[in-house]
Each structure stands twice: as C-alpha cells, then as structure tokens.
Amino acid sequence: MTSPTDASARLDPHYEIADIDRRLFGGFVEHLGRHIYDGIFEPGHPSADSDGFRTDVIELVKELGVSTIRYPGGNFVSGYKWEDGIGPKAGRPRRLDLAWHSTETNEVGLHEFQAWLDRVGSELMLAVNLGTRGTPEALDLLEYANSDAQTAWTDQRTANGRETPFGVKMWCLGNEMDGPWQIGHLDADDYGKLASRTAKAMRMLDPGVELVACGSSGRGMPTFGSWERTVLEHTFDDVDFISCHSYYQEHDGDAQEFLASGVDMARFIESVVAIADTVAATKKNDKRIMISFDEWNVWYLHREDGTESGHEFKGGAWPVAPRLLEDKYNALDAVVFGDLLITLLQHADRVRSASLAQLVNVIAPIMTEPGGPAWRQTTFFPFAITSRLGQGRALRVPVSSASFTSEKLGDVPTLNAVATIDDEGVSLFVVNRSTTDAADLRVDLTPLVRELGRGVEVIESHLLHDDDLYAANTLENTERVGVREAAASVDGDVLTVALPAVSWAAIRLA
C-alpha cells in the first residue's frame, strides 16, 4: 500500500466569496414517475397522515434540509394546466402527460403541494407553462397564488380553502425551452420575446416577484452561449436570474473522468456569468444577472445499451406513476455529488439559487417502496451535511495538491475544497478526486486563529468513502453505505485531514 500524498491548503476568513443564499440548497419536485404518487403521496401507506402524505418521507426531507423547492416541473410543466390541480378532487380531470408518457390524476396540485411544503419547512418556487400556454395563463396563476385583491381568481382560491395568498417569491419562465424535446420548443429569439412579455406583465401584477429566464439545458447544447446571449438581450431588464441545468454520470467505467465533473460545472457557471456580464456591458448597465442552477445531479441518462432513461413507456401505454428514472446511487456517485456542492458554494457570489433534481424516487436522494420503507441513497449524506453546516459566508480555500489529466477538461486538481464561516464556527468541505491515491491534507489555520484571537478545535467530522466504489443502499440493504467520523485533528494552527482515494469530507471547527 502506497503512502498518502501530501497536500496543503490555507483557511483565511478574508478569502470571502459571498454570503450564502439559503436557496442554494433547494430541491425540485416534478410530476414524474413515482415522485409524487407512491413517493411523497401514498394515502394507503402505514405512515400516511390525514392528507395522504408519507410522514417517513417528510422526516427524511426535513433532515435533508432543502430550502426552496421548484415545482411542478420540469418537462411536465410545458403541457400542464395548473387549473386541473385546484378545486374538489372528485372534479379534477385525468390528463395525458406527453413529457413522460404517463397519466396525471391531478390528486396533488398547488394547494396540496403547499400543505406538504408547510410540513417539510420549505418554500415554493413555481414554474409557469410557456410551452403550450403563455402570458395570460401565467398571469392567472400569479393572481390566484399571490394577489390579496378580491377577484374571480382569489374568490376561487378562498373557495378552495385558502383565503390568504401563497406569496410565491420566485418564478421560472418556462422550462428548458432550448430543448427540441420540450413541448412548445422555441428558438432563442422567440423565447426571449415571450419571456420578456410575460415578465413585464407579471411585474405589473406583483412587482416583488423574482423571475428566472431559461438558460441552456446543458453546456453541451449546440446553441449554448448564443442562447444565453440572445435571451438576455431580450430579458435583461425584466429578470433576476438565468437558469443552468447539468447532469453528470460515469461513462464506460471511467471513474477518474467522472470525478472531474465539478470542473465542468465550474466552467459552465463561469461561462454563463461571462455572457451575462457581456450583455450588461453592451447595455451599459451595472445590473448583475444571477444564476439559478435549478437542475443539477448525477443522472444516468445515457445507458450502456444506448437507450435513454425516462422513455420506457411508448405506444398505447399511459400508466399512472410508472417507475421512471429510479437511479441507484453508489459511493462514487456520492463523492462526485459532494464535489458538485463544493462547486456551487465556490460560486455563491453568482449562484444564488440551486435545485437538486429531484427529491424522491426520481434520480433522488430518497427512495420509497409502496407500502414499505423509505431510505437514504448515498447522495443524501453530502447534501444533508452541507446544507446543515454550510451557513453564513463562503470562503475560497486554495489547495496545493497533485493533479490528473482529464481527456475533456485537461489538468484537474486532485483535491478541491471550500469553507463557510458563521457566528458559531467554520465548516470545511473537501473532496479527493483521485481513484488511486489517498491524501493527507494539512490546512494552515494561522489567519483564522489570528482573526479569532484564540485557537479552534474539531467538534464534528464526516467522511464518505467506501472501498467498494459501487456499493449502494437498496431496498434489501438500506444502510449499506453511510458516513463515518473523519480522521481530522488540530495541532496548534494546523488542521490535518486524512482523505482516502475517492472520498468526500466535512469538518466543523469551533
């Protein structure tokens, strides 16, 4: 067994990135597969509450620590009539969902989902349908959700059991409208005009809303870059955010290349920021468009057999809540996932909102079995820990370590880290991307100790690592993979952390 390689870092409270917007730890719930039905909502389950929501899932979502939850899609929203999900359930129509080739029962709609959010302690972020619908329908939904005037829509809201407004702050102007798969797909010019018209109208009704324009569905889209520029040229004065979407997976068993995913995400963010600021410069405007990274995750979209996940049902079959996109996550996936969280924090100055896609059953950190248990997938752990410990302000943590060569991305540092600081202490998040070498990381705490005027100590540590990179938590063994205490200690002004190959760690200092 080879000796661990040496690595060094510096933790300085003056290396500030920005205050962390808690919306960076958001989630995403779409009417897709078993996410809602047989996921969060299963009236016949032993744990179900009086409204049919699984309380075991509620407790896990609370533990996960999601802040804002984007709803109801996703591809689903581009064919959705929000009015189908309000009013007495007995009168709600069953509809065909073209996005996922399923039948939507509309048992859960806006009111029910808000009731679930109240239980889990998260805020609602709504997406409007700009695929098969447009500005008038978006205004109807905004009036129904947010207005306190007496109108036909607010009277209907009251009749449906809610007199006070929902008060939704953040709104997405459609979903992935650059994608040819999207119902109502538009080119950048047409979408930009539609988004601008809709945004202007929505602000006339509710000036306090925060609006997200659709960015590219991924950095690999053929229109990436030109799409952002054109859309922002139309919407710059009207929106607060532009979205990023990105998913990662291991290809052809190349774990080392997969472990470079965080670098790809960083370059995606920095490219979008550069484009947004270029548009600002051409408009001679100091406004800064922020990023809503409102879909991100590990997703095995492209399978080894050449098929794509999510397209199992075609032809005449329109099932209710089919098993779609139920990826089983392993230890390797969780380490990459933890690195993606580090990357988001490293860009907290411009990434002010992010939504893990998704939450339950569908490419999710939480899995359920109908009538049976709910359990944590491997990706649950880095999210829950980072959400809980990643408070206050984000700090850059320069790391000196070995590197490896990525075929797509060039030289990639083996170690990556970020820190956060708040009134109670400091949290360090670090990943070892090497598939072969452990590392002993020595972190110089001198600037921190000098600033505080006293020493610090490790009060909490977590390590996610498994000798079997492909170990996973399953229905048969729900606790196969977890986190354990990391080998971390402070000696004088130096923090030492032992990092096995392919590992993620979180250290809390007080």
DSSP 151-217: -HHHHHHHHTT--S-----EEEESS-TT-TTSTT---HHHHHHHHHHHHHHHHHH-TT-EEEE---S
Residues β-bridged to residue 504: 431, 464
Same domain, residue pair 56 and 156: yes
HSE (CB half, 13 Å, CA atoms) of 286?
0
Give the mean pLDDT of 97-115.
97
* Contacts by 443-446, CB closer than 8 A, 24 or more apart: 443/8, 443/9, 443/10, 443/11, 443/397, 443/494, 443/495, 443/496, 443/497, 444/8, 444/9, 444/10, 444/11, 444/493, 444/494, 445/11, 445/490, 445/493, 445/494, 445/495, 445/509, 446/493
Q: Is residue 363 part of a domain?
A: yes
DSSP 41: B
Residue 306 pLDDT exceeds 80: no
Q: Is 280 helix (H, G, I), strand (E, B) or coil?
A: helix
Mean pLDDT, the chain, rounded, equals: 96
The pLDDT value recorded for residue 317 is 85
Dihedral of CA atoms 288, 383, 507, 329 in degrees, nearest 10, equals -130
Query: Same domain, yes or no, for 181 and 293?
Result: yes
Cβ atoms 325, 110 nearer than 8 A: no
pLDDT at 305: 60
Task: Clarify whether 112 is annotated catalytic.
Answer: no
At 308-349, the pLDDT tens digits run 665 555 556 899 999 999 999 999 999 999 999 999 999 999
Estimate the crossing angle of helix 331-346 against helix 380-389, to 10 degrees: 30
Residue 422: which CATH number?
2.60.40.1180
pLDDT more than 70, % of the chain: 97
Per-residue model confidence (pLDDT) at position 4: 82
Q: Are 151 and 234 in a shared domain? A: yes
66 part of a folded domain: yes
Torsion angle of alpha carbons 158, 159, 162, 163, nearest 10°?
A: 20
Side chain identity at residue 18, one-letter code: A
Total count of domains within the chain: 2
Tokens of 36: 């809602």
- Please check the confidence at residue 455 and state whether its pLDDT lies above 80: yes
Radius of gyration of the chain (CA): 23
CA distance 182 to 28: 18
Find, among 254, 263, 249, the residue nearest to 435 by Cα: 254
The answer to the question of residue 63 being in a domain is yes
Query: Do residues 363 and 458 both lie within one domain?
Result: no
Whether residues 354 and 442 share a domain: the answer is no
Q: Domain boundary at 333, 360, 389, which?
A: 389
Instruction: Determine phi and psi for 394, rounding to 5 degrees.
Output: -90, 140
Mean pLDDT calculated for residue range 485-509: 97
Alpha-carbon distance of 144 to 103, in angstroms, equals 25
CA dihedral of 208, 214, 217, 220, whole degrees rounded to 10: -120
Say how far apart CA 86 and CA 107 lie, in whole Å: 9
CATH number, domain containing residue 69? 3.20.20.80
CA distance 273 to 195: 20
- Which of 366, 389, 412 is the last residue before a domain boundary? 389
Which of 488, 510, 329, 491 is CA-nearest to residue 417? 488
Domain that holds residue 116: 21-389
409 and 363: one domain? no
User: Are 383 and 478 within one domain?
Assistant: no
Rounded mean pLDDT, 181-206 = 98
Domain ends where: 360, 389, 418? Answer: 389
What sign does the dihedral 365-115-245-267 (CA atoms) show? negative
- Does residue 15 lie within any of the structural domains? no
Residues of the chain above pLDDT 90, percent = 95
| Predicted structure pTM score | 0.97
Question: Please, what is the angle between helix 55-64 and helix 380-389, to 10°?
Answer: 60
pLDDT tens-place string over residues 9-32 = 999 999 999 999 999 999 999 999
Q: Determine whether 295 is an active site residue.
A: yes
DSSP letter string over 437-496? --EEEEEE-HHHHHHHTS---EEEEEEE--SSTT-B--SS-TTSS--B---EEEETTEEE
Q: What is the mean pLDDT of residues 415-419?
A: 98
Whether residue 180 is contained in a domain is answered as: yes
Does the residue 292 lie in any domain?
Answer: yes
Let me know if residue 16 belongs to a domain: no
> Are 223 and 275 members of one domain?
yes
Q: Model confidence at 1, in pLDDT bands (50, 70, 90)?
A: very low
Residue 161: partners with Cβ closer than 8 Å, 6 or more residues away: 111
Residue keyed to tokens 């870059």? 225
Q: What confidence tens digit (pLDDT) does each residue in 35-82 have?
A: 999 999 999 999 999 999 999 999 999 999 999 999 999 999 999 999
Instruction: Give domain status of residue 259, yes or no.
Output: yes
Instruction: Enumerate helices (H) and strands (E) in the chain, giving the number of each.
Output: 11, 25
Distances from the Cα of 45 to the Cα of 56, 361, 374, angstroms: 10, 16, 11
Question: Which member of 176, 228, 250, 257 is catalytic?
Answer: 176
Three-state SS at 408: coil
443, 9 contact by CB (below 8 A): yes
Q: Kindly state whether residues 367 and 500 are assigned to the same domain.
A: no
* Pairing assessment for the beta strands 241-248 and 210-213 based on DSSP bridges: parallel
pLDDT of residue 304: 61
Q: Both 337 and 455 in a single domain?
A: no
Q: Could you tell me if 323 and 462 lie in one domain?
A: no
> Do both 355 and 421 map to the same domain?
no
